[in-house]
A and B are shown apart, each in its own frame.
Chain A
Amino acid sequence: MKTLQNLEPLQILGLIGALFFLTAPITIPLVANDFWVSIVAEIMIWGLFAASANLLFGYTGLLSFGQAVYFGMGAYGVALSIDIFGFSFWPAVLVGIAVATVTAFITGIFAARLTWHYFAIITVVFSLIFFFITVGWYDVTGGDDGLPFTLPPVFKAGGFEVSLLDLTFQYYFILAVVAGCFALMHMLLKSPLGFAFIAVRENASRAGLVGYNPYMIRLVSFVFAGFFAGVSGVLFALFSRSASAHFLFWTVSGEGVVWMIVGGAGTLFGPVLGAAFLIIVREELSLYWEHYLLVVGVIVILFVTYAPQGIMGLLKSALDRIFKREREAANSVPTVGEAVAKEGPES
């Protein structure tokens, strides 16, 4: 068992982060405006979305500009199930996730054949196709205006009813789902399948020569990424009580990629840090300056050029410097038995 004494500094930071997310609805109103609780909830949703792009890029080596498709499918899956079919809460959630995952599988059959720029291009193309279908099919999707719906209750027993209209409950609902997804992703990445992802990222032809089918591995990664993006889309639809064609536009995917890279690709929680940082920048700056995206652009350029490991990389090297812990071997990396290949301790 690990005790507090032998935790890595980064793991301690992770615990602090976990504590922050667990207590945000109570602690934030003490120091800031209540609406920041909603911002934190939104950060968790977008963090999960960015993590889906990270599963592909950071671990499997596939740069996707199409994660918005599965995000949008999840959102519309929920919205249409509730609005048109009158589904109750849980079936609608399941439909949303299933639609996103199945769409990822079907598009993945084609996309997983490609790598590098060809892969990036086909994901943009998928994004545009699904976006234009959604915009054009106004009667069903509401196009650009979106499709608002009325939230059904999450639980209903006799006179007792809980719904996401209770904002504290909504916050913890989002936290629970997102935490569950990250636990699942963590498990995946530490499993033989996760190592197969990394093997394909590192050297696909070598992976093939030792028995992995790179196409299959990429497809599985693509479907899992679609699943996670779908869950984030479901959450966002519930959170904003609507779905919109905007959700599928490729710029949404692009934002996910930016959050992932600024936060630290190839690390489990880097995308959450990136989303948090840039969403806070957006919230603060957009009040004063409508062209705040220029600042975001500069931030991204600086990160890509000077800190390609992202915030997570900066944090790690800063902590290493502060604690100056005598590492047995400066270049040693943890092996399978200890931690996932490259990223070291994640928290």
Chain B
Amino acid sequence: MNTPVLQVEGLTKTFGGLTAVDNVHFTLPGGGLHAVIGPNGAGKTTFFNLISGFLRANSGSVIFNGENIIGRKPHEISRLGIARTLQIKSVFTGLSVYDNVWIAVMGQSRFLNPFKSAGSYTDVAANVEAILKDMGLSDFAKELAGNLSYGDVALLEISIALATQPKLLLLDEPISGMSPSETKHTVEIIRGLSTRLDVILIEHDMEVVFGAADVITVMNQGAIICQGSPEAVSNDPSVQEAYLGTPGEEDEEELSA
């Protein structure tokens, strides 16, 4: 069997007394769209922050393509082939859409020649144009990123992530705040991406997750409580418990009330 793309062992992160990610074991075999769901505060974003180097784990390891990336800086992890988007959209607001993607493509180069004009990198320019075309942002190339609609900012952020030519793409609630038609469009794009690279998606919209994901991981209170196909997950009692509370507890409350 192939080595998994991402292998997480005993990953733990505490903030003071709060354990945000609690001894998580997680394996991403590779191939397909993987969704991570869970109630607010389940530790999903913290989990991403640990993988992408935003936070240092207290313990545990994250093996990406055979390399332990715990303790690496975000830019090193980016160069290894993990790209991510943030829950609060993060682009270069004051720059044009084109320059946003251009900067991301150039970010992977080993040497930034200070004596060569940026305009002379024709291969980079072609790459940028191809990405913008793929994502349907060509018409906005000269627009300031800060002037885009919320949905287009999300698409730009995905474009920026793709510009780094990642092997693994982490998407943190990419469709939140989108209109239904934008959501449909974006989900199609994400489905398309998942055929050529590994995608892990954090999402709250259950309809989207159960419609699109191949595998779903459910987190609650910092731990993974369930993982499997959408059918298996939706039938798992522990998932219903996490989202709706323990039936027993409610009954007791009702009795005591």
Contact = CB atoms under 8 A, between A and B. Distances in A.
A20 B103 CA distance: 37
Interface stretch (B24-32, B91-99, B184-192, B212-220): B91-99
A29 interface: no
B74 interface: yes
B76 to A, nearest CB: 8
Contacts of A265: none
B114 A336 contact: no
A202 B107 contact: no
Interface residues of B, number: 44
A181 interface: no
A192 B144 contact: no
B143 interface: yes
B37 interface: no
A209 interface: yes
Given A192-B118, A194-B114, A210 B104 contact: yes
A192 B116 CA distance: 7
Contact of A336 (B79, B99, B107): B99
B113 interface: yes
A206 interface: yes
Contacts of B161: 209-210
A208 B74 contact: yes
B83 interface: yes
A335 B107 contact: no
Interface in B103-143: 103-104, 106-109, 112-119, 121, 125, 141-143
B8 to A, nearest CB: 19
A195 B106 contact: yes
Contacts of B117: 187, 190-191
A113 interface: no
Given A331-B144, A335-B102, A342 B114 contact: no
A335 B75 contact: no
B75 A208 contact: yes
B108 to A, nearest CB: 5
A193 B104 CA distance: 13
Instruction: Find the residue from A190, A191, A198 having the highest chain B CB count within 10 A.
Output: A191
Contacts of A338: 119
Contacts of A213: 73, 75
Nearest to B79: A211
B114 A193 contact: yes
Contact of A193 (B83, B94, B113, B163): B113
| Interface core residue of B95, B109, B115, B125 (most chain A CB under 10 Å) | B95
B164 interface: yes
Contacts of B61: none
Interface string A238-269: 00000000000000000000000000000000
Interface in B77-95: 78-79, 83-84, 90-95
A196 B160 CA distance: 14
A158 interface: no
B52 interface: yes
B3 interface: no
Contacts of A191: 112-118
Contacts of B103: 195-196, 198-199, 207, 210
Specify the main secondary structure of chain A where it touches its partner: loop
A3 interface: no
B115 A210 contact: no
Contacts of B240: none
Contacts of B163: 210
Given A193-B114, A202-B93, A336-B118, A210 B99 contact: no
B147 interface: yes
A208 B116 contact: no
A203 B92 contact: yes
B78 A206 contact: no
Interface in A297-334: 329, 331-334
A337 B119 contact: yes
Interface string B221-255: 00000000000000000000000000000000000
A72 B119 CA distance: 36
Nearest to A213: B75
Contacts of B116: 191-192
B209 to A, nearest CB: 24
Contacts of B78: 208-211
B108 A196 contact: no
Interface of B: 52, 54, 73-75, 78-79, 83-84, 90-96, 98-99, 102-104, 106-109, 112-119, 121, 125, 141-144, 147, 160-161, 163-164
11 contacts: A188-B114, A190-B119, A193-B112, A196-B112, A332-B143, A333-B95, A334-B96, A335-B102, A337-B125, A341-B95, A341-B96
Given A187-B117, A199-B103, A335-B98, 18 more contacts: A187-B115, A190-B118, A192-B112, A203-B90, A203-B92, A206-B90, A206-B92, A208-B75, A209-B78, A209-B83, A211-B107, A211-B164, A332-B143, A333-B144, A335-B102, A337-B119, A338-B119, A342-B95
Interface of A: 187-188, 190-196, 198-199, 202-203, 205-214, 329, 331-338, 340-342
4 pairs of A and B residues whose beta carbons are closest in the complex: A211-B107, A210-B107, A208-B74, A332-B142
